[in-house]
Structure 1
Amino acid sequence: MKKILLMLQLILLTTGVFSMTSDMFQKGVLHFNYKADALASAETKARIQLEKDLASVLAVPAGERTFENTVIAYNKAFDKYGDSFGIAMFLAYVSPDQKLRDSATELQSKVSAYMVEVGTRKDLYNAIKEYADTNPKLDVPEAKLLENMMIGFRKSGLHLPDDQLEIYRNLSRQRSENSINFSKNIRDNADFELVTREDLKGLPEEYINRLERLEGFYKVTLNYPDYVPFMKNSESDSARRALEFKYLRRGGDENVKLLENSLDLRRQTASLLGYKTFADMKLEYRMAKNPKTVEKFLKDIEKKLKPYGKKEDKQLLALKEERAGKKDKNVYGWESAFWSTLYKKINYDVDAEKIKEYFPADVVIDGMLESFGHLFGIEFKQVKIPVWHKDVRTYELIDSATKQTVAYVYMDLFPREGKYKHAACFDLVDGHQKEDGSYQKPFTAIVANFNPPSKDAPSLLKHDEVETLFHEFGHVLHNALTTAKYSGLSGTAVAGDFVEVPSQILENWAWHPAVLKKISKHYKTGEPLPDEIIEKMIKGKNVFSARAYQRQNFFAQYDMDLHTSNKELDTTKEYFKLAKKITGVPVTPDTIPQASFDHIMGGYDAGYYGYLWAKVIAEDMFSVFEKEGLDNPETGKRFRDEILAVGGTYEEQEIVEKFLGRKVDNKPFLKSIGLE
């Protein structure tokens, strides 16, 4: 897998996700006109109203409780609370205003601490439980929502004695604060390496021309558009090593402390709630159910990958010896991307820097929207609505059959100071049925860090960035095409090891020849990607795929090892040891890569395996499209209706097997990476 992608949601304990449906809007669309000094007072006012609304829920006599006056009223109270300061917490990741980002981060901490407090109130738990204990006759969405709430209450320690519940609250507050600070430390990193013109040998002029000059040197930052091309193409081994060293120290020693403290807090939390390990606690209601299933799954993949990985290592070592004139046992971290890129150029005539000239961002986006629009029965209309930065583009998503607007999509694609460093889909407003019976349109955003336009060329995407865009668009469609009744079941509100399925399915279309033609247009000549280049790209698709998946397998096993241990671990030693064992590549000495492993501090703790787990499901489901036609709108409609629309309303295993007409098979996955 070529990317590390993160789905971010603002999850509030037992309430699901804020629906955010009133104060955030102006003329039917979101506004982003927030003032840094007004956020705290807005939250305070909203908190007072929330307490009043919750008091109304508590005031309902036990014998008169209904789904509406108890479950729905409880959720609506939190929805209203979220409405009052709206999208401000999202702006912590994307606002160009540092003062607003800082205030929004403070707001995150404040809201998070309060949610721990209010989400662990026994009087509220008892009110909901009072109703649940009547065994009411509910339809599927109602039953699922109530079930999720009761699971959330249990995971929030509501069954504990008061003294232990207070311990749980303190642990939760600390865990949340650590996660917020961990992410902020990565976002705030502005380190760079100064390199010479000689160090840039191998990089295209377009790349060199956009670099900032400083004291006679060229400034290469740790942001994706600078870092990745440099590591793949710079012929200077020493410059690559220096840049990688800084990259693998993002987050710093402070983040190592935050991670190790969080692991201790998680162990204490799991023990307090009666679980053997934190992983047992997290996996109980996911598709995998328990750590043993995950460990077996990962070990099986590790075993299958090992011989292929060794073969690929030998290929790179031979090239290194031939070109660098030295025999070595390892291809080191700062060398891997360079030698892999060169190998593909030599053996497959695939030059990512040349190929990206065929992928102007505007052309890729238009072609992607047209392709998936046809497949899923939707249309996209670019519209002018309020945004948080001038570079953000916005689309209205329209159902082709009804001609009704069903969602709005934002794309914030280029890096800037203080912005979120990875690629992710942010769920801004969940689709759900409103009180008047109408349906709330979802609002969702792709945030990425692609190569920005320069004076010489438009934004040009490398093919792996095209894959990233398609991946994130899978999350977008999961959110945008939901028809779930409740916000807590909407879109990506699914099991953590299923959430990456739609996104990983859509990656496959980035390799479909007809789609590649549609999304390509050389920025100078206007010609689409030639057939011979497409053929070479597809032929070289799985070159070094074993190494790539060994790396993903390592991340998953590292995450699982950290969360199945009941003793303190030196996370650096564990990282170095396991990385060498699984990937065969030693980690660069004196680095701390786990300090920027945002996933295990941002919701994927004991869950990183979900990428591989979901990949197996995704490739099996994609095999249905291969059989019935990659542009078959009937298959697309079935996928839309049976997978995307339902969100978390039904059990994930149930909807997968319904779409497949059978149980999941891992053979399509193995075939997709060239191992079957």
Structure 2
Amino acid sequence: MSTPAPLALPDADIAEAWVKERTATTLTHVRELADQLRTSPPSQALDVLKAWDQLTLELGSLGGLAGLLANVHPLEAVRTACEDTEVEVDRLRTELTQDQALYQVFASLPAEQTEALDPLAARLLEKTLQDFTRAGVDRDDATRARLTEINERLTALGLEFSRVTRDDVRITTATRDQLDGMPADWLESHPAGDDGLVEITTDYPDALPVRMFAKDPAVRRAVTIAGLERGWPHNDAVLEEMFALRHELAGLLGYPDWPTFDAEVKMIGDGAAIPEFIDKIAGAAEERMTRDLEVLLERYRTDVPDAVAVSAADALYYEELVRQERYDVDSQVVRTYFDFAKVHQGLLDVTGRIFGLRYERVTDVVTWHEDVSVFDVYRASDAVETAERLGRIFLDLHPREGKYKHAAQFDLATGVVSTSSTTGGQLPEGVLVCNFSRGLMEHDHVVTLFHEFGHLVHHVLGGQGEWARFSGVATEWDFVEAPSQMLEEWAWDADVLRTFATDESGEPIPADLVARMRAAEDFGKGYHARQQMFYAAISYWFHKERPEDLTERLEELQAAYSPYPYLEGTHFFANFGHLGGYSSAYYTYMWSLVIAKDLFSAFDKDDLFDPEVAGRYRDLVLARGGEKDAADLVADFLGRPYSFDAYAAWLAS
């Protein structure tokens, strides 16, 4: 079978009309497929599943396309049209999974046929029936109608929360004198205006270096507060309504609260296990946090003698001083080794070696912005002239107005080898959306780039199967970060970094500097873990309790978990984007990190490119997508169930 062609995107001047036409055509076709399945289902269970998988592939691909362009397209009209598409997709998805006639097509399949299904098809049937039940297909008409209303409103609220957070770019100003300590290249790219003031936006390439290097505490504080205040006050009401509706939805489906409903389909299994996990990590990190905070506070008191705690506005700056003075690591020196263009190419070279892939740049393709680079992905072992394309990736890595402000991987197209006798499959296409400097990068941003690229590789490698339902990053949502977190390890290895991290003269980063960077990074990992548990606690307890005063509860949770005291008058939750997507499950990042440390324990630290280990990991974990439960995928690779031991040893070291 020939490789399916990638999606052809439109030029900007016709993009809005193209989105609207594609939306109308796809939704109409999906409804036709659903009607055929409802009224004239195939006689064989396997064919029923294929028809449903084709339907969900088309609907999901439209939703993925709209979700991407709503966050990256430079034209507001196109972004708005895509948000409308997302609403329509979610509305139809709810309608279909609440359709009792469709449900009966699956529920009434003959036992002799379902028992004869192969394991993957049987898994698909199980997941499909679960999807129907969790949508409320077995509820009465009035309840289903209310569930539909709630889902539609939640979609609208999620889009509103994301849009407000994305578009609320705040600006702080400072004189050149107030920016003493800033890197020369940052100052060069931020000239003062006619009023003598330099503008500092809340975008990462602007704000992060200021918080790390600016000597003036007033400037650091102003930039920190500006970042914390994005989305406020508008998103306070948005979140309160969102939490209330999620709770109501869970109750209508027979669950005591949203976290219980949400956790049912995750590795953790039970909502009540989330605060237990949060407290387990918080307890494990306590001793290390206390020890490192004492070091940080001691340094802080040389400038703020009466301080009883390090301010969140000053933490990054004083961490940097500790790294310089105790570990001989100067981030302004480190960043000279991480020119964006070299890092970009190094990322492709390194991941190509790990996973046995080859990336070929594509130039004759329309994208949504000139910054976007495009690559087709092939197996490195295949002959160039006969190689079949595995997928296509898009890298959109610099900030601009109207663009998603964080770092994430978006699906452009879900990959399947075959969906029916007529379609011939669909090429997996993914997009990396980040906001990095065009010049020198902080090493933290290099790590972030490797992390997010891990999702992209997972999407492509996992998009080679038969079923759309299990394609790409289709595992439990509290596992999806583990492969990406593990890939971060390559961005910390001296031998790996020396292949692309070179200074202006071409000298590679010294191994002893990387060793000191690692030691400096280990400093603070206890209180960084506690900060993550603060975020996880917000995510869980805001959904569990639905507090009347979100700011007051924020202060309480910060006092209980965070290493830093609350900054008076700030409202971080108003731009905490994961409250939209991860909802009550931000614990996911730490849960995944526990597994990532265990996965990495199988690699030889002296040979991170060992083809046998990397190949097994690629084939047994990434390439399987959601074809097995995540715990089973990990056990297949490790040869045993995953454990907490590797993480505990790392945290204590």
- Structure 2-normalised TM-score? 0.93
Quote how far apart the aligned CAs of 1:269 are.
0.8
Q: Which residue of 2 aligns with 1:90?
A: 68
Q: Which residue of 1 aligns with 2:558?
A: 579
Query: Matches of residues 242-391 of structure 1 in structure 2 within 5 Å?
Result: 242-322=222-302, 324-384=303-363, 385-391=365-371
Measure the CA separation in 1 of the matches of 2:110 and 2:189.
Answer: 61
Q: Which residue of 1 aligns with 2:414?
A: 430
Please state if 1:159 is matched with 2:138.
yes
* Cα pair distance change 1:50/1:407, threshold 3 Å: closer
Quote how far apart the aligned CAs of 1:246 are.
1.6
Measure the CA separation in 2 of the matches of 1:535 and 1:181.
Answer: 44
Quote how far apart the aligned CAs of 1:83 are.
6.4
Quote how far apart the aligned CAs of 1:263 are.
0.6
Query: Which of 58, 65, 77 matches 1:99?
Result: 77
SS in 2 for 1:432: coil
Conserved in 1, the CA contact under 8 Å of 2:172 and 2:200?
yes
Q: Which residue of 1 aligns with 2:491?
A: 510
Residue type of the partner of 1:229? P
Conserved in 2, the CA contact under 8 Å of 1:478 and 1:491?
yes
SS in 2 for 1:529: coil
SS in 1 for 2:478: coil
SS in 1 for 2:602: helix
Query: Which of 435, 442, 445 matches 1:465?
Result: 445
* Cα pair distance change 1:635/1:573, threshold 3 Å: same
* Cα pair distance change 1:80/1:154, threshold 3 Å: same
Residue type of the partner of 2:409? C
* Cα pair distance change 1:212/1:79, threshold 3 Å: farther
Conserved in 2, the CA contact under 8 Å of 1:194 and 1:218?
yes
Query: Which of 398, 401, 414 matches 2:398?
Result: 414
Query: Which of 420, 423, 427 matches 1:441?
Result: 427
Conserved in 1, the CA contact under 8 Å of 2:452 and 2:484?
yes
Please state if 1:49 is matched with 2:36.
no
Quote how far apart the aligned CAs of 1:37 are.
4.0
Summarize deviations over 1:448-479 as a string: whole Å, max 9, x none: 00012xxxxxx222111111011111111111
Query: Which of 653, 658, 667 matches 2:636?
Result: 658
* Cα pair distance change 1:665/1:79, threshold 3 Å: closer
Quote how far apart the aligned CAs of 1:410 are.
1.1
Q: Which residue of 2 aligns with 1:528?
A: 508
Residue type of the partner of 1:460? L
* Cα pair distance change 1:275/1:407, threshold 3 Å: same
Conserved in 2, the CA contact under 8 Å of 1:49 and 1:81?
no
For these two proteins, the number of residue pairs brought into alignment is 640
Measure the CA separation in 2 of the matches of 1:440 and 1:50.
Answer: 16
Residue type of the partner of 1:90? L
Query: Matches of residues 469-480 of structure 1 in structure 2 within 5 Å?
Result: 469-480=449-460
* Cα pair distance change 1:601/1:89, threshold 3 Å: closer
Please state if 1:450 is matched with 2:436.
yes
Conserved in 1, the CA contact under 8 Å of 2:167 and 2:402?
yes
Please state if 1:123 is matched with 2:109.
no
Question: Is 72-81 or 48-57 further displaced after alignment?
Answer: 72-81
* Cα pair distance change 1:217/1:132, threshold 3 Å: farther
Quote how far apart the aligned CAs of 1:624 are.
0.4
Conserved in 2, the CA contact under 8 Å of 1:65 and 1:131?
no
Query: Which of 521, 530, 546 matches 2:526?
Result: 546
Conserved in 1, the CA contact under 8 Å of 2:262 and 2:271?
no
Conserved in 2, the CA contact under 8 Å of 1:70 and 1:131?
no
Q: Which residue of 1 aligns with 2:541?
A: 561
SS in 2 for 1:540: helix
Measure the CA separation in 1 of the matches of 2:334 and 2:409.
Answer: 26
Structure 1: gaps (5+ residues): 1-20, 453-458
* Cα pair distance change 1:433/1:67, threshold 3 Å: farther
Query: Matches of residues 179-190 of structure 1 in structure 2 within 5 Å?
Result: 179-190=158-169
Summarize deviations over 1:613-635 as a string: whole Å, max 9, x none: 11111111101003683110011
Measure the CA separation in 2 of the matches of 1:597 and 1:132.
Answer: 47
Summarize deviations over 1:514-536 as a string: whole Å, max 9, x none: 101112111x2111112331221
Query: Which of 183, 187, 192 matches 1:204?
Result: 183
Quote how far apart the aligned CAs of 1:301 are.
1.3
Measure the CA separation in 2 of the matches of 1:208 and 1:577.
Answer: 39
* Cα pair distance change 1:474/1:225, threshold 3 Å: same
Measure the CA separation in 2 of the matches of 1:497 and 1:615.
Answer: 10
Q: Which residue of 1 aligns with 2:602?
A: 624
Question: Is 149-158 or 304-313 further displaced after alignment?
Answer: 304-313
Query: Matches of residues 607-618 of structure 1 in structure 2 within 5 Å?
Result: 607-618=585-596
Structure 2: gaps (5+ residues): none
Measure the CA separation in 2 of the matches of 1:81 and 1:619.
Answer: 36
SS in 1 for 2:30: helix
Conserved in 2, the CA contact under 8 Å of 1:291 and 1:564?
no
* Cα pair distance change 1:110/1:135, threshold 3 Å: closer
Measure the CA separation in 2 of the matches of 1:314 and 1:267.
Answer: 41
Residue type of the partner of 2:341? D
SS in 2 for 1:398: strand
Measure the CA separation in 2 of the matches of 1:177 and 1:291.
Answer: 25
Please state if 1:109 is matched with 2:87.
yes
Quote how far apart the aligned CAs of 1:335 are.
0.9
Please state if 1:496 is matched with 2:477.
yes
Conserved in 2, the CA contact under 8 Å of 1:521 and 1:529?
yes
Query: What percentage of aligned pairs have identical amino acids?
Result: 28
Summarize deviations over 1:322-365 as a string: whole Å, max 9, x none: 1x152211111111111111111111121212211111122222
Conserved in 2, the CA contact under 8 Å of 1:140 and 1:649?
no
Measure the CA separation in 1 of the matches of 2:604 and 2:488.
Answer: 14
Residue type of the partner of 2:126? E
SS in 1 for 2:192: strand
Residue type of the partner of 1:648? G
Conserved in 2, the CA contact under 8 Å of 1:264 and 1:568?
no
Conserved in 1, the CA contact under 8 Å of 2:260 and 2:272?
no
Query: Which of 600, 603, 612 matches 2:579?
Result: 600
Give the superposed CA RMSD. Answer: 2.2
* Cα pair distance change 1:569/1:143, threshold 3 Å: farther
* Cα pair distance change 1:484/1:569, threshold 3 Å: farther
* Cα pair distance change 1:325/1:549, threshold 3 Å: closer
Measure the CA separation in 1 of the matches of 2:605 and 2:104.
Answer: 51
